[in-house]
Structure 1
């Protein structure tokens, strides 16, 4: 009885929020007809680590633009823990496959994708609980955070990834867990070592959830440095140093695991569908990159185009193109040509928020239900106000205001937990703003809308932060006015 009273007094808001989110997740991802994502060719990278195979054996069957619910389990492949194109989501997939086998007494070779959605949902809810439970939030602010998370992040444009093998699902849940474990850590007067460990695991999970997130290690190291500065005890600093090194090593290993084919794909697209795209002098651009202009035959053509008579991974390309081009070289090219850099930044803003309401491609074959009750609040906002969501000047203005306010708080306040909080707020800004150019450098305009996912996600998190901050300011003004009224009386 005492425990129930304690929970009611301390966690009632959190529980209400988790219950609401849980109901939305259950209805969207688990109750037929379920919503998910169809395979566009990326599933194979993760399927390997789960020891899973599509039930279909033909190209047309695998890529039929419908969600596939069931996959064949190959137990022998489950023991591949690290290999090519490794991402942190592979651990979660192995856990989901193990749960499936355990519940079927290791006697069923079929894996239902909802087991993976279950694992993602649990981590998602855990991260949200830690965020809403942040000690600096009043009851009203906890409610505001919860409502914003429900409206924005249970939208199908986000949670439909949970019923898929895309890396975006790992990005979502690990980023929330990264923020949640960090808030849980910095609000404790004397945190335990395990609280640091939780944060390092969550941050490693986020950074390695997709190859695209690996460069963000540079920004994460700033947070690690902040922890080192503000936690001076010897055991804390030892843990922080070890944790930082292990995360860096894991990120390096994940980068090294990228196959030659993936690196070639990214470089090819960053040049022929990036640097040369919209250029008035594409041949000159190739020569500036140190590449023979004879490779102009690939200009505007997809890496997967094998019908033009020119092979993107042919002998000439392998000897004379890929060894001469790198992401660093492409970055230097854009720095030398600021007008082209600006052009790409504008194009990134214009390609942001490629959100769509659920269509047949979000359902299993024959199960399309356009009237299924789901949350499309964020998607509708994007589609109804597309000029705001895809305007580079809106991105810049919002970023400057956000940065100025957070920096002002950092300068004016000396509290350890507040300054560390601001470091995380700045990390979210840097992670989002960097996506205006990093995807273009990394893979040009290939699958552009999907590669801008982190841009959308980070700026939505910042919008939620801004909305909650505004509620905080309004509440302060109301309390101040009430106090003044009492004084006058």
Structure 2
């Protein structure tokens, strides 16, 4: 019996690597959740319009409320000229356009099934799981390697992450890009592949896609530039330093570009929320605190207020008065 189990385990490890095992388990767990009825996903909290309208998708008139508590499985595909400009610049549009193409090819040219969005993320996600697991366990196929593969599935196949796939939120792209980023860096550090070009290219492509996925990610460019500088010190890599330097420049330009694309309304909302929910809350005497910063002490009355107020507010956050006397006098610092 002991020899039988030993032979069985050996045959299994010869045919199924830890990375492949992780992909199979993640595919089953996430696939059932995303594609087997009843469909699971996340509901629209009002943010979907930022990504769907500029990509030619719109909300259908259904029995669902405007901002439903349930996932919306079907959307309409515009059959006319799309006059909606891009409200938020984001690499998320790449994933949406791929999903739209597949939807029109295999399903419908007028109705968009949210599962095609989930399918696009799902396929990229499984690739990330494979590369990350392989990078962490290479070159071993020990019991500990399979345990690590199971741990990766336990963490990254959690529905807290994968439910986002069946939605128009930008978070799935961030998760997937981080999987590829980490896989690329770890692979380079552990010398998993003989040719380093593939992983270096994957690192820079994933970094740019991550930074441009959400405008809030712009400051991440600084962090990843520091990581990228480390690629300069890879052994036997002197002739390729120029290419790495070019990649670093592209990452920096991506960060600057996505930051500059932020609309004035979004900047105003973020600045106001930072002020009312940050600066004013983190002090015992908010009036004195803001007066030292050159802001009229009366704005302390706006403590804990939202830019988009549900009821009455002390002052209209979007008014010219607030912009002149508050927003223009506060900065990132």
Pick the aligned partner of 1:170 from 165, 173, 189.
Answer: 173
Contact 1:49 1:93 in 2 (8 A): no
Query: 1:184-234: CA deviations, max 9, x gaps?
Result: 444256525343212211122223332333212222112111101225535
Closer/same/farther in 2, CA of residues 74 and 235 from structure 1, 3 Å limit: farther
Name 2:207's counterpart in structure 1: 203
Higher relative contact order (CA 8 A, sep 6+): 1
- Give the secondary structure class of the aligned counterpart of 1:61: coil
Name 1:123's counterpart in structure 2: 124
Contact 2:187 2:193 in 1 (8 A): no
Contact 1:97 1:115 in 2 (8 A): yes
Contact 1:49 1:94 in 2 (8 A): no
1:72-471 matches, within 5 Å, as: 72-74=76-78, 83-104=86-107, 108-134=109-135, 136=138, 138-139=140-141, 140-186=143-189, 187-188=191-192, 190-231=194-235, 233-277=237-281, 279-305=283-309, 307-308=311-312, 310-328=315-333
- Give the secondary structure class of the aligned counterpart of 2:17: helix
Contact 2:276 2:302 in 1 (8 A): yes
Shift of 1:86: 1.7
Structure 1 unaligned blocks of 5 or more: 1-5, 329-489
Closer/same/farther in 2, CA of residues 55 and 112 from structure 1, 3 Å limit: same
Closer/same/farther in 2, CA of residues 10 and 201 from structure 1, 3 Å limit: farther
Query: 1:313-369: CA deviations, max 9, x gaps?
Result: 0110122211111222xxxxxxxxxxxxxxxxxxxxxxxxxxxxxxxxxxxxxxxxx
**Aligned equivalents of 1:248, 1:306: Cα separation in 2:** 38
**Aligned equivalents of 1:230, 1:12: Cα separation in 2:** 28
**Aligned equivalents of 2:59, 2:182: Cα separation in 1:** 35
Between structures 1 and 2, the one with greater helix share: 1
Closer/same/farther in 2, CA of residues 239 and 278 from structure 1, 3 Å limit: closer
**Aligned equivalents of 1:197, 1:7: Cα separation in 2:** 33
Pick the aligned partner of 1:65 from 63, 69, 94.
Answer: 69
Query: 1:111-164: CA deviations, max 9, x gaps?
Result: 111111111111111011011112645223431222112222222212111111
Number of residue pairs aligned between Structure 1 and Structure 2: 319
- Give the secondary structure class of the aligned counterpart of 2:305: coil
Name 2:27's counterpart in structure 1: 22
**Aligned equivalents of 1:319, 1:56: Cα separation in 2:** 41
- Give the secondary structure class of the aligned counterpart of 1:303: coil
**Aligned equivalents of 1:304, 1:155: Cα separation in 2:** 32
**Aligned equivalents of 1:219, 1:325: Cα separation in 2:** 25
Give TM-score scaled by structure 2 length: 0.86
**Aligned equivalents of 1:19, 1:188: Cα separation in 2:** 21
